[in-house]
């Protein structure tokens, strides 16, 4: 029985002894005090039984909580009993239940280029307590996104292709750093299976066209917009989707469209699409994480 109590309360033998002493002394002391108070109030054999019971119960229920804290102090067990009291007071509705600690979402943004989307995301979550843009991961030492990260005091990690594709080193590193989600924002390498398995359904990508059209290997940047114009489309747009093992594949989370005029060029379409991305990507990330922006 003592072993079970030790396990339940996660205490050693000596502490268990002191805790039991606290309970024993508190029990006797409460009975003694309750007797004294009843006498002091002037209850005798003629007093209504219900009054006696009411007073005794009040002392036992409420007085006990104070007495046990005082006694526990003498046995050096105040912290243990204060935690125990907090639970009781919460159950009695006399103390507010502490909101469960919400670990902030710790995001890593993967990008290879200019990083205009990364910047919008960083700015959007700047004052958000539940989301932290924790790291910018990049494969290109010349990428503008690295400067953006530095301006915002965000850690950067320059990754190396072989380690990224053939080992679990980066997945382990992200896990150790507590990264919960990965946001691809113009990241040009294919995400390896190890990373996808480690972050299943927790990696989001943005593609500058309406998938499933104009996606796949080689479909990035202006190549996409050139192909869209060449095929005579009257509209294009953006697709935000979960990342799986295949290029530009995975459940679509959000799409938005923009029209293409006859005068449009790949450059002007890129501008329209970028504007759509900046407008929607940060907000869609927040919704995907299930947070209401403060
Ligand atoms: C965006 O158009 C995005 O859709 C694509 O890469 C581009 C990145 O642009 N995946 P930026 O570096 O965020 O400006």
Residues 13, 111: Cα–Cα separation, whole Å: 55
pLDDT for the residue numbered 57: 81
User: Is the pLDDT at 22 greater than 60, yes or no?
Assistant: yes
Return the minimum-mean-pLDDT range out of 11-20, 33-42, 134-143, 162-171. Answer: 33-42
* Gap from CA of 186 to ligand 1 centroid (Å): 4
Q: What is the mean pLDDT of residues 119-135?
A: 95
pLDDT at 233: 95
In degrees, rounded to 5, the angle at the alpha carbon of residue 255 between the alpha carbons of residues 252 and 261 is: 145
pLDDT mean across residues, the chain:
91
User: Considering the chain, what percentage of its residues have pLDDT values greater than 90?
Assistant: 66
pLDDT, mean of residues 176-196? 96
- Ligand 1 centroid–CA 11 distance in Å is 55
Give the nearest ligand 1 atom to 187 CA. 10
Residue listed under structure tokens 């029990």:
27
Residue 43: other Cβ atoms inside 10 A: 16
What domains are defined for the chain? 2-91 (no CATH), 105-289 (3.40.50.170)
Lowest-pLDDT choice from 80-84, 264-268, 275-279 = 80-84
Q: Are 68 and 81 in contact (CB under 8 A)?
A: yes
Which of 133, 221, 228, 268 is the pocket-test mutation for ligand 1 (most atoms within 8 Å of CB)? 221
- Compute CA 273 distance to the chain's CA centroid, rounded to the nearest angstrom: 30
Distance separating alpha carbons of residues 62 and 64, to the nearest angstrom: 5
* Model pTM above 0.85: no
Choose the catalytic residue: 152, 181, 207, 278. 207
**Which range is least confidently modeled, 45-49, 73-77, 145-149, 175-179?**
45-49
Please state, for a pLDDT cut of 70, what percent of the chain lies above it: 97
Q: Which tokens is 142 given? A: 């010349």
* Catalytic status, residue 207: yes
Q: Which two tokens stand for residue 238?
A: 């953006």
**Span 188-198, pLDDT tens digits:** 999 999 999 99
Nearest residue to 213 via CA among 238, 196, 188, 189: 238
State pLDDT tens for residues 281-290.
999 999 999 9
**What kind and span of H or E run contains 287?**
helix 266-289
The 10s digit of each residue's pLDDT in 252-265 is 999 999 999 999 99
Sheet holding 181-184, edge to edge: 155-158, 131-138, 105-111, 181-184, 203-207, 235-242, 252-259
In tens, the pLDDT along 90-126 reads 887 777 776 555 558 999 999 999 999 999 999 999 9
What CA–CA distances, in Å, run from 292 to 118, 127, 169, 187, 255? 20, 13, 33, 27, 20
Dist. CA 285–CA 108, nearest whole Å: 12
């Amino acid at each position: 029985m003592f072993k079970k109590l030790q396990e339940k309360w996660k205490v050693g033998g000596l502490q268990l002894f002191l805790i039991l002493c606290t309970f024993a002394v508190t029990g006797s002391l409460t009975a003694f005090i309750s007797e004294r108070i009843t006498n002091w109030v002037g209850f005798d054999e003629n007093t209504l039984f219900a009054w006696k019971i009411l007073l005794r119960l009040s002392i036992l229920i409420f007085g006990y909580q104070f007495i046990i804290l005082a006694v526990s102090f003498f046995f050096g067990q105040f912290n243990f009993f204060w935690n125990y009291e907090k639970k009781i007071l919460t159950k009695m509705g006399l103390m507010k239940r502490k909101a469960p600690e919400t670990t902030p979402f710790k995001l890593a943004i993967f990008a290879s280029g200019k990083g205009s989307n990364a910047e919008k995301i960083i700015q959007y979550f700047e004052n958000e307590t539940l989301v932290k843009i924790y790291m910018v991961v990049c494969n290109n030492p010349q990428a503008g996104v690295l400067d953006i990260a530095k301006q915002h005091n965000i850690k950067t990690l320059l990754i190396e292709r072989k380690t990224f594709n053939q080992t679990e080193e980066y997945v382990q590193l992200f896990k150790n750093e507590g990264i919960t989600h990965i946001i691809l924002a113009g990241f040009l390498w294919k995400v390896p299976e190890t990373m996808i398995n480690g972050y299943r359904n927790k990696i989001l990508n943005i593609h500058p066209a309406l998938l499933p059209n104009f996606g796949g290997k080689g479909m990035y940047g202006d190549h996409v917009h050139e192909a869209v114009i060449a095929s005579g489309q009257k509209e294009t747009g953006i697709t935000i989707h979960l990342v799986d093992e295949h290029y530009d594949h995975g459940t679509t989370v959000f799409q938005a469209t923009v029209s293409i005029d006859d005068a449009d060029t790949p450059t002007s379409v890129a501008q329209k699409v970028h504007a759509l991305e900046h407008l929607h990507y940060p907000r869609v990330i927040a919704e995907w994480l299930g947070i209401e922006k403060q």
